[in-house]
Structure 1
Amino acid sequence: MAAFHAAVVAHDGKRLAALFTSSGSSWFNVLSDQRYALARVKAPDAAKIRMSSYQDFADFVSKSKASLDPQHSNLRIQTDGIIASAYFDFRFMIDGKEQNRGSETWQLVRGVDGWRIASISYSSNLPG
């Protein structure tokens, strides 16, 4: 998580992308009912469950001129040393303002080159 945070703060999309499995990775964002209602006001066909990719996020991180600060708390990890699941609460700060908050889970796998993130799923709630 420290490497993820450091890559985001440094706007280093290449270093961020290296934390993921090279293929087969998934990225899901699920909007809370309140956030979904707001999204539908802007776009009536908005999806409640949105699929993206670590490549899209790495591209955003690389191109953003804003100060980015993903904050993580209440981390819980389960592992057998080969696979792992990390569950935590997060706040995503942009230029010092909370833009998103929720819960997040990572599924990780340990290969010959160390731990890699295989998937991320997170909820999106209205800023607190």
Structure 2
Amino acid sequence: MAIEKAPALKDVFPSFIYYVVIVTLTGIPILIAVGYLHFKKSSAYKAEADISFESHPHLKRILQNTENMLPLYLKMSEMMIKMSKNEKLSDKEIEEISLLQNELSQHIEKRLSGKYESNVYGTDNKQ
């Protein structure tokens, strides 16, 4: 064996069992990490993710709803902080809230009328 011919290896691996255990404990996690990175960077993963996203319409709807709701949540949290400090909202803040409400109303109208894009990226509109 190679261990017998190299005295330095004999110090690190006194027996074949130690060699197997050390290589297993270090080699397998390294191979898994390299495989995972390769899988994430390959175009097959990207295509699979696109197909999965297109085949589950609920994922598209959740994404669209979340993108519309996040600004509203942010503005509501700002309002709650002001109210907890007993501060009044300025006219500008009230106007911003009104704009957010209008955007949300338009989003709901598109949903109810069926005129919302079937594609998240807006490339094929239903009209």
Please report the TM-score for the alignment, with normalisation by the length of structure 1. Answer: 0.21
Q: Which has the higher helix share?
A: 2
Q: Which has the higher strand share?
A: 1
Please report the TM-score for the alignment, with normalisation by the length of structure 2. Answer: 0.21
Q: Which protein has greater RCO, CA pairs closer than 8 Å, 6+ apart? A: 1
